[in-house]
Structure 1
Amino acid sequence: MKIFSKKYLTLPGTALLLLSMGCHSGQKDSSAIADSTNKAQIAATDSANKAQISSSDSSLKASKSLKEDASKFLVKNYESGIYEIQLSELAATNALDPDVKNLAINMVAAHKAINSRISAIAASANFLLPAALNADHQKSLRDLGKLTGADFDKKYINTIVSGHENAVSDYKDAYKNLSEGDTRTFAGETLPKIEDHLAMAKKVKDRIK
């Protein structure tokens, strides 16, 4: 199975130090490290801006909160994208049903494209993204790899349906609540694609029950 490339976006030295410390401590997964590093980066940037502009504390706090929401959305859905890719690469090889196999192949291509766009948005905002799966997703991937035949197909398709149901909710929430900008635009443009993925997965799920 192809392993998703592990790379981090360019960040200031302090952020990279935080990342290094977190990785070696083993106490946080890659997504948690990214979230905490981005939060610190946003706080530092907003503090610098506050010293240069005459904005109220309330407006700065609101701006900071929206930036944190955007970074968390990108981190969560990038990691989920890695998970979808690795699940689907496994299914593209191991699935028994041809419809499941074809869906998996489509999911790999689609989520690589989505993650590529998330990477570009995160880079422009100087946000860190996770380079590895969280513990729950690692376990889920291992568990799927132990199955074969119809059991494998059903587990994979159930996981894909559940994941895309959660993603649809996340993307709707992001488009509704984030401020104008690249992340909100991305959420609005990508939501129909995620909904299409969910519809395709449900169709396959209904057929192989």
Structure 2
Amino acid sequence: MTRHLLIIGAAFAALSLAACGDKTETKGAATPSEQAATPDANPAATVPTVADETKADVFAMKAADLNMFEIESAKLAAARSTNAQVKTFAGKMATAHGKTGEGLQAAIAASGAAIILPMTLSKDLQDDLDDLSKASNEDFDKKYADSQVDAHQAMLNLLQRYAQDGDTPAIKAFAAATAPTVQEHLNTAEGLKKGFVN
């Protein structure tokens, strides 16, 4: 048995060494069709990364987007929900996130940064809002609670990251001051979500 294991181990070692061998291959320049078929070598250059979220403009745009989603989904829940807890939570979210939006605008003004916040939702969050609006009456409250957990977690992560590593002091102060409130909202949303688990 031990001998079999040693033989198998030696075989794996040999295969591993062969796989690590230099496979340098010289090739001519890519044809136009090959270039079109090959994805961009650096696609992340056009899509903001997590590291970009420490830049004031990227942070502000994402925070405003998530904040708008909270307000719009709260309005939808106030109109659609038949659950008293959900309606109460939605009312609090509309008010609280209205204040968060004002706080973000004030922080941007105090920083002197030339950032113009979006007036409409990003495609992803608009799609999420559209999905929520299409939910059946039976599923709406659960889907709303799920969306609130996801959105508040995303917002909390964004705020905490910027509060720690952000590049603009006035906006960092806003992020640090807002994170505890968003944590409270997240905790409440998680409680709501648990109430709808089958």
TM over 0.5, yes or no? Answer: yes
TM-score, normalised to structure 2, is 0.68
Give me the CA root mean square deviation.
2.2
Describe how 1:1-209 pairs up with structure 2 within 5 A.
Answer: 69-123=55-109, 124-179=112-167, 181-209=169-197
Which has more radius of gyration?
2
Residue by residue over 1:16-74, the C-alpha shift from the partner in whole angstroms, topping out at 9 and shown as x without a partner, is xxxxxxxxxxxxxxxxxxx99xxxxxxxxxxxxxxxxxxxxxxxxxxxx9997122111
Residue by residue over 1:141-167, the C-alpha shift from the partner in whole angstroms, topping out at 9 and shown as x without a partner, is 122112232300111110110111111
| Mean Cα deviation higher: 195-204 or 145-154 | 145-154
- Gap runs ≥5 in structure 2: 1-46
- Gap runs ≥5 in structure 1: 1-34, 37-64
Q: Distance in 1 between matches of 2:155 and 2:127?
A: 20
**What secondary structure, in the 3-state scheme, does the structure 1 residue paired with 2:177 have?**
helix
1:87, 1:156 within 8 Å by CA — same for their partners in 2? yes
Deviation at 1:208, TM superposition (A): 2.2
Q: How has the CA–CA distance of structure 1 residues 131 and 169 changed in structure 2, closer, same or farther, with 3 Å as cutoff?
A: same
**What secondary structure, in the 3-state scheme, does the structure 2 residue paired with 1:195 have?**
helix
Percent of aligned pairs sharing the same letter: 29
**Structure 1 runs, 4 residues or longer, greater than 3 Å off:** 65-68
